Every structure is written in C-alpha cells, then in structure tokens.
Amino acid sequence: MEYDVVIVGGGPSGLAAAIRLKQLAAENDREISVCILEKGGEIGAHILSGAVIDPTALNELIPDWKDKGAPIHTPVTDDQFWTLTETGASKIPNWTLPKLMNNHGNYIVSLGRVCKWLGEQAEAMGVEIYPGFAAAEVLFNDAGAVIGVATGDMGIGKDGEKKGEYQPGMELHAKYTLFAEGVRGSLSQELMKKFNLRDGVDPQKYGIGIKELWQIDPAKHKPGLVTHSQGWPLDSKTGGGSFLYHLTNENNDALVAVGFVIHLNYENPWLSPFDEFQRFKTHPHIKPLFEGGKRLAYGARAINEGGLQSVPKLSFPGGALIGCSAGFVNLPRIKGTHNAMKTGMLAAESAFDALKTDRQHDELHAYNDGWKKSWVFNDLYKVRNVKPGLKWGMTLGTLHGGIHMWMNDLGLGKLVGWTLRHGKPDNEYLKSADQMPKIDYPKPDGVISFDKLSSVFLSNTNHEEDQPVHLQLRDASIPVKHNLARYAGPESRYCPAGVYEFIDGDDGAKKLQINAQNCVHCKTCDIKDPLQNIHWVTPEGGGGPVYSVM
C-alpha cells in the first residue's frame, strides 16, 4: 500500500501530525494520502496519562475544539501541593511555587477519549486509520533510507508455526514515515541505533506512572481540583510523587484520577512501584477520599523524564521521530501532550514542504532544526536542570529546581547558563539486594488497596494466548543466574502487572515464568532490566490493555 506519509502510532503526536498534513493539503489545494497504524484495538485503547493537559497546541491545531465537541469538560480551578510523612501532611503555600507550576488554564481529561475524538477529526479529513495493526518492522531501500513499515503477521502460534487463521503482514510504503510510538517505542529504539540518533545526548530517563480511576462520593468531589504530593511512602533518595485529579464527564459523574509516579533510577531492588502506589492510598490524609467509592479502571505506563538533555536527533533519511518516541515531557509540570502534539505538527509542516517539491525518502532537516526555535524548546529549556538536580535527594533537589524555575519567572534565566547532565541510564542504578533494606508491604484490603491480578483485570488487558511471547529474553540464563542471585529477582516487583514470576521448576531449581498475557505495555521491563536482557517487541495487533475511560 502506497502513501505520501505513514504515521506509526495513533496517540496525540501522530494524530496531530495527520490532521496538520490534511490542513496544509486543503490550504494548498493538494492531495496528500496519510495513513495511521495503531497497535491498539481502537484509537485511545493504549493511551494512558494523568492527565492535566496544556491546550496550547490544541488551540493552534483546532481553534474551535470546544464547538466541535472535544471531550474536555473540566478546567482546573484549584492547585494544591502537599508533602507527606507517614502519618502527616503539610500543604505547600501556592505563593512559594514557580508560575510554571500553576495549572490554571489547563484541563483535566481522559487522554484516551481526547485521542479518540482527534481520530474522528482526522478521519473526517480523509486520514486512513488502521487500529489493531502493529508496525513490527521498518522497511529500508538500497540506500538505507526508510521507505515505510510492515505490520506483523497474524495467526502465528507460540511454536512459530502458522495457524489456520494465519494472515501475513502487509507493507505500507511512504515517501516519509513518522514514528509516534510513544515512550520506548520498539521501532524508534531500532532507528536510534541504526542512525546514531542518540550520539552526543544524555541517556533517556524514565519513570513509571501507575493510575486508577475512581468514582467517589459526590459529597467529596471537587471538580477542577488538582493535587500533587511528594514524600511518603518513598524515602528521601527515591524520586516520585502522586497526583489526584477531580474530573467529571458529560454524565457529571464524580470521578477522581489517582496515580503515582516513581523515577526508574531507584536503587533498592526490593522496591515495588505498584505496592508503593497501593500503600500511598492508605495514608490518613488520602484514604478518606476513597472510602465509599468504587475503583473503575487501572493502568500503568512508562514516562520520559530526560527532558532537553535527552532529546535525540529527530530526523533521518525517510522519516522522523515525534512526540514521546523522542521524549518531550516537561517533568516538573508532569505534562507532555502539548509538546507531543506540537512536534507532530512541526514534522507535518516539514514533510508537507518536502512533498510540495516532489522530494521523498530524504532527511527532514527543517524539522530537526525547527523544533529548537519553537516554544517546545523553550518549555524544556526552562526546566532542564530540575531532573538531574534530584541526584541530591528530593528535598535539596526540589529546592534547587524551584530556584531555577523562579529565576526564569523573574527574567533571570540567563544567569543559569549551565546544563546539568544525567549520567548513566536507569537500568544501572540497582544495588545488590543484600545491601538494601527489604520492604515489607502490607497486604491489600480489597477496598482501598488491591493486588496486581485484580488490577490487571480492570485494565481490560487481553492477548491471544497462542502467539509468540512478545517479551523476549536475549539470554534465558540471566534472570536466575544474575537477576535473582544478585538483585532477588527485581522483575517480579518492577512489573506492575504480574508478568514475571520466579517459580520452582521440575528439577526444584528456580526459573522465570513470563505471563505475557498480563502485559499492559508499560515498557518498564525493557527499561529497568539490569543487563537489558528483556526485549519488548510488539505482540499481535490489537492485543494489550483497553483504556477506554482512562
């Protein structure tokens, strides 16, 4: 199948790119064929974010989004920041916080529903969208330029043999291919290596975000309230914090999105991000909000945290990286949708200019250079020293980052001319299990706190069981001989879905069991595995979670 532009991924950046291409085509009275491949069963199925969105990019792309019925109903009305101890809570006065942290003018949304709406706008403009088809392979021409992608075969059994319902993958050829896979996209990782896109930049840094959606007692509901916290249950050396967003929908349901983010450069292999989140909800300041409520949904996703220092080169012959495939999250603001959409729009503009002059398969230098002149660069530049400063601990690191942001607010940003570096990647931080304190997590009560398997059930995760395992081990001996022996098997804890279990084999020795059907596609294993032995590849198209209301 031949297209002018193929976009891999139906998230905010990919959809924004497609819409912008069609807008430019209409403005210039030119026909452009655009296709989006989405591995989720529907647009929005694999989208997970808090989410409080900055509408700047959406305002540029679709200025009349309100009139067009965008599912954006809850403006932020109140910001609160708290520091938690094991039993207490202290509110940080808003006047002490940099203006950048102010959420007024932003909206609390279900990002999955926003993406579904964006997909409808794109299709109405003539974009072809194929959900349930995972791009599994990058295609190259003899000169080494990207000329498109191929989808994975359907109907392959665990044994690698074709089943009765086998359908071969299809090739989609394009003059330009934009990769909008999201955090730690498998094809994006391949392209970074092939074209040396990470040369001269810091390692990407990550966090894991775990989220639940609750329906609470309407008497406790405060639509528009945004609350963040740091501190307990994490120690002072472990970065992370919580969010609580009171939102509503067209049915005026009393909804709260609650989540916890833990930076994946943590040292203690006994730490379980999932259990830290469950423990957080039992805090005496937090628990009353959920008493009498009902948990509706669950999910988890990795988050790019490297910021400016970690953005790779974005263009290569035949294509470009956009959105979280490259990493444009503003960590202090906990926002990336606006930057993801804008980079998609910038790439679309560069690709359109190339197509106008009948170019194809060359490099979109204008995009790689142009984003540095956009507000995306400025957004990340102001906060570039916040994440690396956390190496001094949460207290000193937060103070350091706050001072930097205040200096920008006061117009003194030029006095901070230096840029701190990130150092090593997150998988290199774990210390031996015998050097770190074991963490005794309380058993879930099934009311406020829950176990992994009941949580995965609420994520609507499903994979065809008889298919090749998409969580591949480069060396099958490493999990037991290295990870279990040195780190007490951290994969059984950093995975928020119960995918990895160490069990007794037939010979009585321990072995790693991979429950691939549980995978919620968060990519944490691909990031945190100490020797990078776990390789996440796309499963059969349509598999995975369905975050329809998240």
Tell me which DSSP letter residue 321 carries.
Answer: E
Single-letter amino acid, residue 418: W
| The pLDDT value given to residue 251 | 87
Which of 35, 115, 324, 495 is catalytic? The answer is: 495
- Give the helix/strand (H/E) hosting 175: strand 171-179
Residue 35: active-site member: no
Check: CB of residue 79 under 8 Å from CB of residue 101.
yes
Out of 87-101, 127-141, 303-317, least confident range? 87-101
Q: Give the closest residue to 47 by CA, choosing from 182, 212, 188.
A: 182
Which of 113, 184, 301, 384 is catalytic? The answer is: 301
Q: Give the closest residue to 540 by CA, choosing from 526, 523, 521.
A: 521
| The pLDDT value given to residue 508 | 85
Residue 519: active-site member: yes
| The pLDDT value given to residue 436 | 97
Longest Cα–Cα distance of the chain, Å, equals 70
Mean pLDDT, rounded, for 437-461:
97
| The pLDDT value given to residue 398 | 83
What beta strand segments (E) does 248-282 contain? 255-263
Distance, in Å, from the CA atom of 8 to the CA atom of 324, rounded to the nearest integer, reads 12
Q: To the nearest whole percent, how much of the chain has pLDDT over 70?
A: 100
Distances (CA, A) of 248 to 213, 251, 252, 298: 11, 8, 5, 17
- Is residue 394 pLDDT above 90, yes or no? no
Mean pLDDT, rounded, for 73-78:
96
Distance, in Å, from the CA atom of 305 to the CA atom of 208, rounded to the nearest integer, reads 10
Give the distance from CA 355 to its chain's centroid.
31
| The pLDDT value given to residue 417 | 80
- How is residue 150 written in tokens? 């191929």
Residue 115: active-site member: no
- Is residue 271 pLDDT above 90, yes or no? yes
Which of 184, 324, 522, 538 is catalytic? The answer is: 522
- Is residue 415 pLDDT above 80, yes or no? no
Dihedral sign from CA coordinates of 510, 516, 517, 523 = positive
Check: CB of residue 473 under 8 Å from CB of residue 302.
no
The packing angle between helices 111-124 and 12-27, to 10°, is 20
Mean pLDDT, rounded, for 337-350:
98
| Ranges of H-type helices in 371-448 | 375-381, 386-389, 394-409
| The pLDDT value given to residue 46 | 96
Q: For residue 519, what pLDDT band results from cuts at 50, 70 and 90? A: very high
Distance, in Å, from the CA atom of 42 to the CA atom of 262, rounded to the nearest integer, reads 28
Dihedral sign from CA coordinates of 348, 354, 357, 362 = negative
Check: CB of residue 302 under 8 Å from CB of residue 527.
yes
Q: For residue 532, what pLDDT band results from cuts at 50, 70 and 90? A: very high
Tell me which DSSP letter residue 95 carries.
Answer: G
Instruction: State phi, psi for 105 to the nearest 5 degrees.
Output: 95, -10
Check: CB of residue 5 under 8 Å from CB of residue 351.
yes
Mean pLDDT, rounded, for 74-99:
94
| The pLDDT value given to residue 98 | 86
Which of 49, 74, 492, 524 is catalytic? The answer is: 49
203 CB-near residues (< 8 Å, 6+ apart)? 306, 310, 422, 423, 424, 425, 426
Q: Give the closest residue to 132 by CA, choosing from 162, 152, 116, 161.
A: 152
Check: CB of residue 229 under 8 Å from CB of residue 242.
yes
Mean pLDDT, rounded, for 514-530:
97
- Is residue 100 pLDDT above 90, yes or no? no
| The pLDDT value given to residue 217 | 97
Give the distance from CA 320 to its chain's centroid.
18
- Is residue 366 pLDDT above 80, yes or no? yes
Distance, in Å, from the CA atom of 247 to the CA atom of 300, rounded to the nearest integer, reads 19
| The pLDDT value given to residue 448 | 98
Mean pLDDT, rounded, for 118-132:
98
Which of 337, 455, 459, 538 is catalytic? The answer is: 337
pLDDT, averaged across the chain: 95
Q: For residue 259, what pLDDT band results from cuts at 50, 70 and 90? A: very high
Check: CB of residue 274 under 8 Å from CB of residue 209.
no
What is the pTM for the complete model shown?
Answer: 0.96
Q: For residue 96, what pLDDT band results from cuts at 50, 70 and 90? A: confident
Q: SS3 for 395?
A: helix
Out of 98-107, 340-349, 363-372, 466-475, least confident range? 98-107
Out of 43-47, 98-102, 125-129, 266-270, least confident range? 98-102
Residue 236: active-site member: no
Check: CB of residue 475 under 8 Å from CB of residue 485.
no
Instruction: State phi, psi for 220 to the nearest 5 degrees.
Output: -95, -5
- Is residue 144 pLDDT above 80, yes or no? yes
Out of 164-168, 326-330, 361-365, least confident range? 164-168
- Give the helix/strand (H/E) hosting 149: strand 146-151
442 CB-near residues (< 8 Å, 6+ apart)? 279, 282, 449
| The pLDDT value given to residue 343 | 98
User: Distance between terminal CA atoms of the chain?
Assistant: 33
Q: For residue 549, what pLDDT band results from cuts at 50, 70 and 90? A: confident
| The pLDDT value given to residue 216 | 98
pLDDT single digits (tens) 315-326: 999 999 999 999
Q: Tokens 């299709």 identify what position?
A: 123
Pairing of strands 154-156, 225-231: unpaired
Residues forming a β-bridge with 243: 228, 259
Out of 105-119, 152-166, 313-327, least confident range? 152-166
| The pLDDT value given to residue 200 | 96
Distance, in Å, from the CA atom of 271 to the CA atom of 438, rounded to the nearest integer, reads 8
